[in-house]
Amino acid sequence: MAARPIIIDTDPGQDDAVAILLALASPELDVLGLTTVAGNVPLHLTSRNALMVCELAGRPDLPVFAGCDRPLLRRLVTAEHIHGRTGLDGPDLPEPSMALRPGHAVDWLVETLMAAREGEVTLCPLGPLTNVALALAREPRIASRIREIVLMGGGFFEGGNITPAAEFNIHVDPHAAAAVLGSGVPVVMMPLDVTHKVLTSRVRLDRFRALGNRAGPAVAALLDFFERYDEAKYGSDGGPLHDPCTVAYLLRPELFAGRRVNVAVETASELTMGMTVVDWWRVTARPANALVMRDVDAQGFFDLLFERIARLP
Ligand code: RIB
Ligand code: CA
CA dist 245 and 152 (Å) reads 8
pLDDT digits (tens, 9 = 90+) for 184-201: 999 999 999 999 999 999
Predicted local distance difference test score (pLDDT) of residue 233: 84
Q: Which atom of ligand 1 is nearest to the CA of 243?
A: 6
CA dist 46 and 224 (Å) reads 19
| Burial label, 73 (beta-carbon count in 10 A; 0-12, 13-18, 19+) | exposed
Taking a 5 Å cut-off on Cβ, the residues next to ion ligand 2 are 11, 13, 16, 126-127, 243
Looking at the chain, the number of H-run helices and the number of E-run strands are 12, 10
Predicted local distance difference test score (pLDDT) of residue 230: 85
Q: Which atom of ligand 1 is nearest to the CA of 162?
A: 1
DSSP one-letter code for 280: T
Predicted local distance difference test score (pLDDT) of residue 234: 84
Pick the CATH number of 4-309 from 1.10.3720.10, 3.90.245.10, 2.40.160.20, 3.70.10.10: 3.90.245.10
Asked if residues 145 and 251 have their Cβ atoms less than 8 Å apart, the reply is no
Q: How far is the CA of 83 from the centre of ligand 1 (A)?
A: 10
pLDDT digits (tens, 9 = 90+) for 124-160: 999 999 999 999 999 999 999 999 999 999 999 999 9
Asked if residues 193 and 295 have their Cβ atoms less than 8 Å apart, the reply is no
**Does residue 173 have its Cβ closer than 6 Å to ligand 1?**
no
Ligand with smallest separation from the Cα of 274: 1
Predicted local distance difference test score (pLDDT) of residue 236: 83
**Does residue 243 have its Cβ closer than 6 Å to ligand 1?**
yes
**Does residue 193 have its Cβ closer than 6 Å to ligand 1?**
no
**Does residue 155 have its Cβ closer than 6 Å to ligand 1?**
no
Q: What DSSP string runs through 199-245? A: B--HHHHHHHHTSSSSHHHHHHHHHHHHHHHHHHHH--SS-B-TTHH
Predicted local distance difference test score (pLDDT) of residue 309: 98
Q: Are strands 29-36 and 64-66 parallel, antiparallel or unpaired?
A: parallel
**Does residue 194 have its Cβ closer than 6 Å to ligand 1?**
no
Predicted local distance difference test score (pLDDT) of residue 153: 98
Ligand with smallest separation from the Cα of 172: 1
CA dist 265 and 155 (Å) reads 11
**Does residue 11 have its Cβ closer than 6 Å to ligand 1?**
yes
- Give the model's confidence band at 311: pLDDT under 50 very low, under 70 low, under 90 confident, else very high: very high
Q: Could you count the other beta carbons within 10 Å of the beta carbon of residue 55? A: 17
Mutate to test the pocket of ligand 1, among 16, 43, 275 (most ligand atoms within 8 A of CB): 16
pLDDT digits (tens, 9 = 90+) for 218-254: 999 999 998 888 888 888 888 999 999 999 999 999 9
In the residue annotation, 83 being an active-site residue is answered as no
The closest of 289, 265, 307 to 73, measured between CA atoms, is: 265
Q: Which atom of ligand 1 is nearest to the CA of 242?
A: 5
CA dist 113 and 144 (Å) reads 9
Mean pLDDT taken over the chain = 97
Residue type for position 183 = S
CA dist 274 and 162 (Å) reads 10
Cα angle: 191, vertex 79, 196; to 5 degrees: 30
CA dist 288 and 290 (Å) reads 6
Q: Which atom of ligand 1 is nearest to the CA of 16?
A: 8
